[in-house]
């Protein structure tokens, strides 16, 4: 397994070149984001996506997210953010542009360009007729340097302990646990803090926070309790 330690300042990002080459060749590895570490692979490589699921130990029915290079990527792989209407509906796209890159995951309807392996297929009412995906644009120099060197986004899932619903924040522990499972590389950008992204569901009538994390609640977002009030 390739281990690459880089400075958050960006002064040695040339060390990431072998990582980019590995991703392009189908590798599965770990990179830092602006929240916790993520296991990633090439979005268009079906074999890599299946191997990512095996390494993480997640079933086919669990949805995966995508790390995007730009708002254009989000428009390509989802139906995009609401632009607002003359009837007074808020222009959410304009609001989102002010906070991305940032520590948010937005759940959006998936476009046909998104590989089927990324989308949850469930029998529940919520998922039976809808294809949804979480999109992220992390505000992290290491993550951005990797993304900007690729021709398309990355599939991602956060790194957790295998038997516990808890994030692994130290890249040394991540390597110890996941290297025996077949991980190809890890980019060490230092320890993270236990503060995941804020998840906002954009598929309903209002942008609804379904997990409060590092990203603050903004005035155009609601919570489940807001809607019940």
Residue 165, pLDDT > 90, answer: no
Ranges of H-type helices in 38-139 = 46-56, 71-77, 92-97, 125-128
Order of strands, edge to edge, in the sheet holding 222-223? 2-5, 185-188, 29-31, 38-42, 154-158, 65-67, 132-137, 102-109, 198-201, 208-211, 222-223
Read off the pLDDT band of 119 (50, 70, 90).
confident
Q: Which residues contact 135 (CB under 8 A, 6 or more apart)?
A: 65, 66, 68, 73, 74, 77, 78, 105, 106, 108
**Cis preceding linkage at 101, omega within 30:** yes
Contact status, residue 214 vs residue 103, Cβ threshold 8 Å:
yes
Calpha distance 225→21 (Å, rounded): 46
Contact status, residue 198 vs residue 217, Cβ threshold 8 Å:
yes
Nearest to 58 by CA among 104, 138, 118, 7: 118
Q: Average pLDDT of the chain? A: 89
Q: Which two tokens stand for residue 107?
A: 């759940």
Q: Which two tokens stand for residue 48?
A: 């890599």
Greatest CA separation found in the chain? 56
Quick: pLDDT tens for 27-46: 999 999 999 999 999 999 99
Cα dist from 149 to 15, 89, 168, whole Å? 12, 37, 26
Quick: pLDDT tens for 81-118: 877 655 545 688 889 999 999 999 999 999 999 988 78
What secondary structure letter does DSSP report for 16?
G
Calpha distance 145→205 (Å, rounded): 35
Read off the pLDDT band of 53 (50, 70, 90).
very high
Residue 68, pLDDT > 80, answer: yes
| Phi and psi angles of residue 159, each rounded to the nearest 5 degrees, phi first | -90, 120
Read off the pLDDT band of 205 (50, 70, 90).
confident
Contact status, residue 3 vs residue 185, Cβ threshold 8 Å:
yes
Residue 130, pLDDT > 80, answer: no
Residue 209, pLDDT > 90, answer: yes
Residue 144, pLDDT > 90, answer: yes
């Amino acid at each position: 397994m390739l281990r690459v330690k880089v400075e958050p300042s960006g002064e040695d990002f040339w060390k990431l070149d072998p990582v980019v080459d590995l991703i392009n060749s189908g590798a599965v590895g770990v990179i830092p984001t602006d929240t916790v570490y993520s296991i990633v692979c090439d979005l268009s490589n079906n074999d890599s996506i299946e191997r990512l699921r095996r390494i993480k130990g997640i079933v086919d029915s669990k949805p995966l997210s995508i790390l995007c290079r730009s708002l254009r990527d989000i428009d390509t792989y989802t139906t995009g953010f609401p632009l607002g209407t003359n009837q007074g509906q808020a222009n959410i796209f304009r609001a989102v542009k002010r906070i991305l890159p940032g520590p948010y995951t937005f759940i959006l309807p998936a476009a046909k360009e998104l590989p089927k392996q990324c989308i949850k297929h469930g029998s529940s009412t919520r998922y039976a007729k809808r294809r949804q995906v979480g999109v992220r644009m992390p505000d992290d120099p290491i993550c951005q340097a990797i993304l900007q060197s690729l021709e398309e986004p990355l599939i991602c899932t956060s790194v957790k302990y295998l038997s516990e619903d808890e994030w692994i924040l130290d890249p040394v522990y991540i390597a110890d646990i996941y290297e025996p499972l077949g991980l190809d590389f890890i980019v060490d950008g230092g320890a993270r803090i236990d503060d995941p992204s804020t998840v906002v569901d954009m598929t309903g009538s209002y942008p609804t926070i379904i997990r409060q994390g590092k990203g603050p609640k903004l005035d155009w977002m609601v919570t489940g309790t807001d809607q019940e009030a």
